[in-house]
């Protein structure tokens, strides 16, 4: 009996993998010319400081890998030390890496158990990949890093407060200074959740974040993009479409636009189900968006395009080929050439 059950499990596993592979293969055949496939595995891409390589995780909680855009050479980055699973990798302006890691005990039955329990923030120096240095700070979900300075921000456990600080090196050891609370809903009775995303480039005066709110049944029902001016303390709401998911992602180097994940194209009854695609949002308060991908409605409501990040030149997007099982879940990284996209649009109009 046990053997029969085992054979059935293996068959189901092979069938699911084969179905996913067929989905990816059919998608690749239909991709517009401005898309290209970088990898058919991996999640959560992140450009390096020179936009020559992309860091990514092999799975939602796993190891950091690096792929060179020109040569397609792949190497493992976090093979030199023991850890219980890395949840996020971000590249600092000096090329060192900011890691968000859980406890050293990995639970295969619940790999994301630490995701909202407080992920430790560590610095991995690019000249020494064998030893991550703890910053003695803990985040809930992903932190934010400046593209121009060593400033970072992170959401505290419970997702109701955001703190910021500056990384400095003393005798080669990275540490945090000037840690302070940026936004706090700690004493609010409203069902609010916050997640940091990016500092607006140039002056780093504004922190872009996602503001979730809802009720006891669904605390993430409304998801909108906000900005907090670190000097004036002014809060700006950049999207205002209720009953929809709008999460801030990679910001453009000129700070005028940001990429978001959104389900605004879905009918009301299909929203808040992670059926997302990539949009380009104008950060002028108008709420103007342009849809850049059509994965979630085109391919049987099974897949999505998410986790987009843009390079320093502002001409290439790396994004995740996602499955609609939940936030962050995916397999494979695609490149989106913005110059080729604009040319394609122009030729299509003629």
Q: State whether 21 and 58 are in the same domain.
A: no
Residues recorded for the chain:
350
Give the number of domains in the chain: 2
Cα 52 → chain centroid: 19
Looking at residue 6, what is its pLDDT? 35
Looking at residue 19, what is its pLDDT? 43
Q: State whether 4 and 88 are in the same domain.
A: no
Looking at residue 117, what is its pLDDT? 74
Q: State whether 12 and 56 are in the same domain.
A: no
- Bridge-based pairing of strands 151-155 and 161-170 is antiparallel
Range of the domain at 53: 38-349
Q: State whether 197 and 85 are in the same domain.
A: yes
Q: How many helices (H) and strands (E) does the chain have?
A: 2, 24
Q: How far apart are CA 64 and CA 49, in angstroms?
A: 16
Q: State whether 126 and 2 are in the same domain.
A: no
Question: Nearest-CA neighbor of 194 among 142, 229, 242?
Answer: 142
Query: How many other CB atoms are there within 10 angstroms of residue 186's CB atom?
Result: 11
Counting Cβ atoms within 10 Å, is residue 124 exposed (0-12), middle (13-18) or buried (19+)? buried
Q: How far apart are CA 46 and CA 138, in angstroms?
A: 20
90 neighbors 46 (Cβ within 8 angstroms): yes
Q: What values do phi and psi take at 300, rounded to 5?
A: 60, 25
Identify the residue whose tokens are 């390079």: 311
- Bridge-based pairing of strands 132-139 and 119-124 is antiparallel
Q: What values do phi and psi take at 110, rounded to 5?
A: -150, 70
Looking at residue 323, what is its pLDDT? 65
Sheet holding 132-139, edge to edge: 86-91, 97-101, 119-124, 132-139
Q: State whether 25 and 110 are in the same domain.
A: no
Q: State whether 165 and 275 are in the same domain.
A: yes
Q: Map residue 114 onto helix, strand or coil.
A: coil
Q: State whether 260 and 126 are in the same domain.
A: yes
Q: For the residues of 139-207, what is the DSSP string, one character each?
A: ESS--EE-SSSSEEEEEPTTSSEEEEEEEEEETTEEEEEEEEEEEE-TT--S-EEEEEEEE-TTT--EE
Identify the residue whose tokens are 């699973």: 85
Encoding tokens for residue 165?
């600080």
Sheet holding 35-39, edge to edge: 35-39, 330-337, 316-323, 303-310
Q: State whether 20 and 53 are in the same domain.
A: no
Q: State whether 80 and 215 are in the same domain.
A: yes
Looking at residue 328, what is its pLDDT? 61
Q: State whether 9 and 156 are in the same domain.
A: no
Q: State whether 169 and 309 are in the same domain.
A: yes
pLDDT (tens, 9 = 90+) of the chain, 350 residues, equals 444 433 333 332 333 344 455 556 666 777 889 999 999 899 999 999 999 999 999 998 999 999 999 999 999 999 999 998 999 999 999 999 999 998 776 666 766 666 777 899 999 999 999 999 999 999 999 999 999 999 999 999 999 999 999 999 999 999 999 999 999 998 887 789 999 999 999 878 999 999 998 777 777 778 999 999 999 999 999 999 988 999 999 999 999 999 999 999 988 888 877 788 899 999 999 999 999 988 777 654 556 778 899 999 999 999 988 665 656 667 789 999 999 999 999 888 77
Query: What CATH number has the domain bearing residue 284?
Result: 2.120.10.60
Encoding tokens for residue 103?
């406890």
């Amino acid at each position: 009996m046990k053997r029969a059950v085992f054979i059935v499990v293996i068959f189901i596993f092979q069938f699911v993998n084969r179905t996913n592979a067929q989905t990816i293969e059919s998608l690749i055949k239909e991709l517009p010319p401005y898309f290209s496939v970088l990898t058919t595995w991996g999640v959560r891409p992140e450009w390096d400081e020179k936009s020559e390589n992309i860091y990514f995780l092999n799975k939602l909680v796993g190891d950091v890998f690096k792929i060179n855009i020109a040569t397609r050479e792949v190497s493992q980055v976090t093979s030199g030390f023991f850890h219980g699973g890395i949840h996020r990798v971000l590249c600092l302006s000096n090329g060192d890496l900011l890691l968000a890691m859980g406890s050293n005990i990995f639970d295969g039955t619940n790999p994301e158990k630490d995701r909202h329990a407080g992920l430790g923030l560590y610095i991995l120096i690019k000249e020494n990949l064998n030893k991550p240095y703890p910053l003695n700070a803990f985040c809930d979900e992903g932190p934010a890093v400046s593209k121009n300075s060593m400033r970072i921000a992170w959401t505290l456990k419970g997702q109701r407060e955001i703190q910021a600080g500056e990384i400095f090196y003393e005798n080669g050891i990275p540490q945090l200074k000037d840690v302070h609370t940026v936004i706090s809903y700690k004493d609010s009775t409203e069902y609010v959740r916050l997640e940091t995303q990016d500092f607006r480039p140039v002056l780093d005066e504004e922190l872009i974040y996602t503001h979730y709110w809802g009720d006891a049944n669904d605390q993430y029902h409304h998801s909108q993009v906000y900005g907090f001016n670190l000097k004036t303390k002014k809060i700006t709401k950049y999207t205002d479409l209720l009953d929809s998911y709008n999460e801030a992602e990679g910001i453009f180097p000129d700070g005028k636009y940001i990429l978001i994940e959104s389900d605004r194209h879905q009918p009301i009854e299909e929203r808040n189900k992670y059926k997302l695609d990539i949009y380009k949002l104008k950060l002028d308060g108008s709420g103007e968006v342009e849809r850049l991908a059509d994965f979630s409605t085109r391919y049987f409501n099974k897949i999505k395009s998410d986790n987009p990040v843009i390079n320093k030149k502002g001409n290439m997007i790396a994004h995740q080929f996602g499955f609609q099982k939940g936030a962050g879940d995916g397999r494979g990284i695609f490149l989106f050439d913005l110059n080729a996209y604009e040319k394609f649009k122009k030729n299509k109009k003629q």
